[in-house]
Structure formats: structure tokens, C-alpha cells
A and B are shown apart, each in its own frame.
Chain A
Amino acid sequence: MNLQTAAIVLSLSLTLATAAAAGPREDQLAQYAAAAKATTPAFAGFSAARGEALHRQKFAGGKPATPSCASCHADDPRSAGRTPAGKTIEPAAVSLSPARYTDAAKVEKWFKRNCNDVLGRECTPLEKGDWLAYVASR
């Protein structure tokens, strides 16, 4: 009986916690997490630190003009970036661009384009989640 009550209270509070954090950005992160876990059972959550390393890493597989995420989005996601054709890109950091990453289709569209341009391939759910965790933490 006691155990049952505890279980109910626990599941209730978990639901509440999830509801508090829920938003399009969190939903998408949860989807990436599920996909990451499906391919890597040892997956233990996204890492902003790994996301930062990815952001700065220089790849050879993509276009020579854009070897890294930072090529267009600036080393520091709190700075504005610039496209090769000279358009200003608002900062990638969520703290400065709070409306970002709230449209799942748009996020997927840009991951697809940008990962192909930078890495020469699509990004994995782990890479996407890590990068989102990074810019959400900045």
C-alpha cells in the first residue's frame, strides 16, 4: 500500500517535471535521445561539452569554405555569425536567440543542409542532441 502510494506520487511528480520542461525544443531533444539510445544502448544523455567540441572541430569531408560549424556561426555561439554570401546570422545561443530551435522541421532542415556542408554527411542524433545541448547552455 505504502509502496503503491509512493509509486503514484513519484510518477505524478515525474509527469509534472516533464510538463514543466516540455516545449518544442525539449520534445525534439527527447526524440534525438530516443534515436541515440536505439543505436547506442550505452547512451547516457547529451553533453554540452561534446557539443562544443563538435562546434569547433574542423572537418575535411564537407565544403572547403565551411570546415566547421564555427565557420558561419562564430566560435562563440553568443556572437553573431555570417554566411559565405555575407548575411548576418543571429547568435546560435538560446540565451540570445530564445525563439531558436522551436520549429522541429526547421531544425531538421538546417541540420541536414549544414551537416552536409560541414561534415559531408548527415549528423547523427547524438551529434544533433549534443550540439543543441551546447547552444541551449550558452
Chain B
Amino acid sequence: MKLRSRPVALGLAALAFSALVFGRAQAGGGHYYPPVADPLVKEECGSCHLAFAPAMLPAKSWQRVMNGLKNHFGDDASVDPAQAERIAAYLVANAADTGGRRYGGKLLRGVATADAPLRITELPKWVGEHRNVPDWEWRHKDVNSKANCAACHADAARGYYDE
């Protein structure tokens, strides 16, 4: 009897554990950033790099990004004015600090409300979360850029940035 119940107990334990992990993944454990849902934004912001979740930066940052597309981190990413307006509206409406949204709140920790940082990878929280990633991993040919979230976060495109 004792021997028989053992596999059941083990199974239950495994189930409980995966439920815990799954539950955390679903909740995001603070690592869930809703992916871009708008097709135009997905196309224009997601051709060269992952279409970064608007909840990763405050509204002010997105306005700065959209006002500087002619020199977008060294690239000319300009789009026609009507499209730019639609994209900006979407990014601002879904920004980290819009309407008391809770997603992205953690990523804004340490960012002053008056600030409008341009690089997600320079947010204090982002830097802290990635402090243990060694230099050679960043330079690995499959990573190449800190903007390449999906190289390590396999589910980044779906919004999950757990390890």
C-alpha cells in the first residue's frame, strides 16, 4: 500500500509544482508585458526588432521615440505622418504609466516621473535584472544586440519575459 501510493504522491507533487510555475508564468510574476496587438504597430515597430511592449516605457518616452524616428538609434525609421500619429496614439494609450496600469510598474522603478528614457535597456530595473548576464553572452552571435529579447526570452513575442 505504501509502495503503491508513492507514485501517486510524486505525481501530485509534480502537478502542484507545475501548477505553481504555470500560475506564476500566467500572472507574469511581474514579467508579463502585453505584446503589441495593433497590426500597423506590429509591422512598423516589429520589422527590425521585436515590437517592444508599450508597457515597458512611460507615455513621455514613446512620444520622444515617435518624434525622433528620422534618427532612431542611428536608423531612419520614419513613417508617413498619418501612420505615425496612429502608432503614437497606440503606444501612449498602452504605456507603462497610462491610466494607473500595473504592467510595467516594476520596470519603471527608479525612473522619475519627469523622465522620458529612450532605451528600455537603460532603465535601472532592466539593468538590475540583467546584471548577471556575462559579457560574452551579449556578444554571442545569436544575441548580438540587447534589443534581441527573444534570443534568451523564448516567449518574448507573446509577452513573457521570465528566464
B144 at the interface (CB under 8 A from A): yes
Task: List the A side residues contacting B47 at CB < 8 Å.
Answer: 83, 87
Task: List the B side residues contacting A116 at CB < 8 Å.
Answer: 76
Task: List the B side residues contacting A127 at CB < 8 Å.
Answer: none
Stretch at the interface among B25-33, B59-67, B145-153: B145-153
Q: A84-B144, A85-B145, A86-B143 are in contact. Are A113 and B49 (CB under 8 A)?
A: no
Measured between C-beta atoms, what is the minimum distance from B105 to chain A in Å? 26
Q: Which of A87, A112, A113, A117 contacts B46 (CB 8 A)?
A: A87
Measured between C-beta atoms, what is the minimum distance from B135 to chain A in Å? 17
Q: Which of A63, A87, A117 contacts B49 (CB 8 A)?
A: A87
Measured between C-beta atoms, what is the minimum distance from A67 to chain B in Å? 16
What is the chain A residue whose CB lies nearest that of B49? A85
What is the chain B residue whose CB lies nearest that of A112? B76
Query: Is the contact region of chain A dominated by helix, strand, or loop, or is it mixed?
Result: loop
What is the chain B residue whose CB lies nearest that of A106? B43
Query: Is the contact region of chain B dominated by helix, strand, or loop, or is it mixed?
Result: loop
Question: Using a CB-CB cutoff of 8 Å, which residues 111-163 of chain B contact chain A?
Answer: 142-145, 147-148, 150-151
Task: List the A side residues contacting B150 at CB < 8 Å.
Answer: 86
Count chain A residues whose beta carbon lies closer than 8 angstroms to a beta carbon of B. 10
Q: Which of A83, A84, A86, A113 contacts B76 (CB 8 A)?
A: A113
What is the chain A residue whose CB lies nearest that of B50? A87
Count chain B residues whose beta carbon lies closer than 8 angstroms to a beta carbon of A. 17
Q: Which of A63, A87, A112 contacts B48 (CB 8 A)?
A: A87
Question: Contact at B76–A85, with CB atoms within 8 Å?
Answer: no
What is the chain B residue whose CB lies nearest that of A85? B49
Task: List the B side residues contacting A84 at CB < 8 Å.
Answer: 48, 144-145
Q: Which of A86, A87, A117 contacts B75 (CB 8 A)?
A: A117
Measured between C-beta atoms, what is the minimum distance from B137 to chain A in Å? 13
Question: Contact at B48–A83, with CB atoms within 8 Å?
Answer: yes
Q: Which of A63, A86, A112, A113 contacts B144 (CB 8 A)?
A: A86
Task: List the B side residues contacting A83 at CB < 8 Å.
Answer: 47-49
Max count, chain B CB within 10 A of own CB: residue among A63, A86, A113, A117: A86
Measured between C-beta atoms, what is the minimum distance from A79 to chain B in Å? 16
What is the chain B residue whose CB lies nearest that of A116? B76
Measured between C-beta atoms, what is the minimum distance from A120 to chain B in Å? 12
Contact flags A105-121 to B (C-beta < 8 A → 1, else 0): 00000001100110000
What is the chain B residue whose CB lies nearest that of A86? B148
